[in-house]
Amino acid sequence: MQLSWGASLGLFGLAGCAPHTATEEVAQAWIPGTYTAEVNGHNAPYTMTVTFSDNAITAIDTASNQESFGVGYDALQTLTDQAMEYQTLNVDAITGATLSSMSFTEGLQDCADQAGALAALQEADAPAEADIKDTYDTDVCVVGGGGAGLASAIAAVQAGASVIVLEKCGITGGSTNVSEGALNAVDPERQEPQGIDDSIETFYDTTIKGGHEQGTPELVHYLTDNALDSVHWLESLGVEFKDEIGSATGSLGQRSHYPATPSGNTYIRSFQQFIEDNADKIMLLNDMQATELITHESGAVVGVKALYKGEKEVTVNAGAVIIATGGFGANVEYRQSVNDGVWKEVTLDDSIGCTNIKPCAQGEGLALAEGAGAELIGLSDIQLHPCGTPGTGLMEDIRTSGRNRIFVNTDGKRFVNEGAERDALCKAIFAQPDGTYWVVVNTLRYPDPDEPDANGATINNMLALGHIVTGETVEEVADVMGVDAANLQASIDAYNEVVGGAEDEFGFEANNTADAAMTEGPWYACRKVPTVHHTMGGIKVNVESEACDADGNPIPGLYAAGEVTGGIHGSNRLGGNAIADCMTFGRNAGTNAATYVIA
C-alpha cells in the first residue's frame, strides 16, 4: 500500500509558507543591537541573547541552556526557527516542553522590549498551521513516537510496510529522550576484554529473579536472547556505543551498553534521521492524540481515530496498529488507583515525583487497547527509582548509576547495598530520616570538573546551579552536606575496604575491573529521593508482540511494544532492561505487524 499523504506535509507537520516580516507593522525603526535576558528554563536558568536590526530579528542565541536533549533543548531550537522565519512573538508552546517554551517566549519578549520591537512582534502573524488531512491510509499505524514506537515503525518499514506514527506531544522521543540510554545485552566482544563473565542464561535468570519470579518466561527469554541483536540493529542505524560496558542502577550485572553521545536521545536522533531519509515510506505526525481504535465487525483492528491539537478529527486507516504509548507513571490519579502491590504502603501522590515527561506518560494506550478487547495485567507493578531530584522527581545531576559512589543518609552513614535492586534501594531510602539520602562521589568519577559526564552535564555546571555541594576534603564536604564528618569518613573507609576485598555488611560486591578506593578530593555530593520511574504492567502480549485478550487469544491487527505492555519485567525492572525491551520488542512488533499486513 502506498502512503496517501500530500507532498505539502513536512516530517513534523509544518507546512512551508513565505515568511512574514514585521516590517509591515513597524511605525518607527527599532533600536539595533544585541540584548540579553535571564530566564528560568525547565532544568536551570540560562541567558538568552537576541540581535535586532532596525526592522528584524537577525539572531537568537539560547546556547547556554541546560534543557534536556530531545525535549526542552529541541523545543528552544524549534521556537527559534519559527520566531526567526515568521518574525513574530506568537509561537505556540511545544507540548511536552511547556516550561522551556515559556522561558523562550519570556526571554524574546524581554529582549524585544529593550529593542523597541515588542509591539510590532506581538502584532505579527503566528506561524502557519500544518496542512493536516481528514483521512490517511497506510499499512501500519504506530501510536506513540517514543523509543519503542519509532523502533517498531522503522522495523515495519524495513519489512516492506508503509507507516504513519501518531505522537501526541510536540516533541519526539518520549521518555527515551530523558533516559540515560543504558541497554542491557550479553556482548562477549565488549565484555570479555573487561574481564566480565556473563551469559544469556545468567541474564535470563537475573531478570526473572530481579522481577521476583513474576515475569512471563517466554517473554523474558525473547528479551534476553535478542537484546544483542538490538545493539547491532541500532549500530546499523548509526548509533555508536562505548566500548566500555557499565552497570545501570539496579541492573544486577555488568552488561549495560551506553551510547557514545549523552542520553537516550542518541537513539531518537538516529531514528529521526531514518525517517527523514525514508519520507516516502514513513510519516511522523506530532500533536496527534489517538482517541479510539477502529475495529472491523470481525473484531480486527483496522485503524485509529485521533485529534490534531485537540480540535481537528483525523482518521488513519491501517492494516495493523501498534500501541507504543509508554507507561502511566506521570498520571498521579491512575497510578494511585492501581497501587495495591509492592508500594501499597506508600501514597504515590504528588509528593512523589516522576522521571517521565509528564504529558507523555499518562496511560492512554491502555484504554485504547482495553476498548478493543485487550487484557491489562500487572498494573500494580510500579517501579520507583532512587535517583529522583527533590521537588521534581527528575533524574538529574550526579546519577546513581555506575561505580565509585556511596549512598549515605542525613547522618552520613551508609545504609544499603548500592548495587541492590531498585525496589530494595527505595525501601531502604524511605526508612531513612526524611526519606532522603546523599550520593557521594569524588575525583574518580569526575577527574575534570569541566568534562561532560554520560548525561552531558559537568560538575561546574551542577555547582553553578546549586544542585550539588563540594569540598576538597571529607570534612569540608560533610560540613556543607550537614552530616557528621566522622560518620562520613567511616562510611568511605568501609566502602574502600570492600573494594580491597573485605565483606560488606550490606552485601555490596565490588568489581575489580570497575571499582577503586575513593581517597582523594575534591568530593561531590547530591541529595536524592525515590521517584516513580517505570510501570511494569500493561497490555498482555505474546512473543509475537500481539495484544491478547484475557484468554490469551491475539486480537487481529493489534500489536504493542515498550512500557505500555505487561509481563516482561515482573514486579521489578532491572536497570538497563527498559531500552532493551523497547528496541527488542519494538523491532518484533514492527516486523510482525508488517508481515501480517503484507501477507
For the annotated catalytic residues, the residue numbers are: 422
CA distance 196 to 204: 16
How many Cβ atoms are within 10 Å of 580's Cβ, its own excluded? 27
Backbone angles phi, psi at 193, to 5 degrees: -60, -20
How many Cβ atoms are within 10 Å of 404's Cβ, its own excluded? 18
E-strand stretches of 447-537? 469-471, 523-535
Q: In angstroms, how far is CA 237 from the centroid of its own chain?
A: 19
Q: Cell numbers of 477, please? A: 564536604
Q: How far lies 198's CA from each of 181, 191, 418, 507, in Å?
A: 21, 8, 21, 20
| Kind plus residue range of the DSSP H or E element containing 432 | none
The helix-helix angle for 217-236 and 577-598 (nearest 10°) equals 90
| 236 exposure class (CB count in 10 Å sphere: 0-12, 13-18, 19+) | exposed
Residues 6 or more apart whose CB falls under 8 angstroms from that of 309 comprise 287
How many Cβ atoms are within 10 Å of 245's Cβ, its own excluded? 25
- Residue labelled with grid coordinates 549500530: 235
CA distance 38 to 475: 35
Residue 522: cis peptide before it, omega within 30 degrees of 0: yes
Backbone angles phi, psi at 140, to 5 degrees: -130, 130
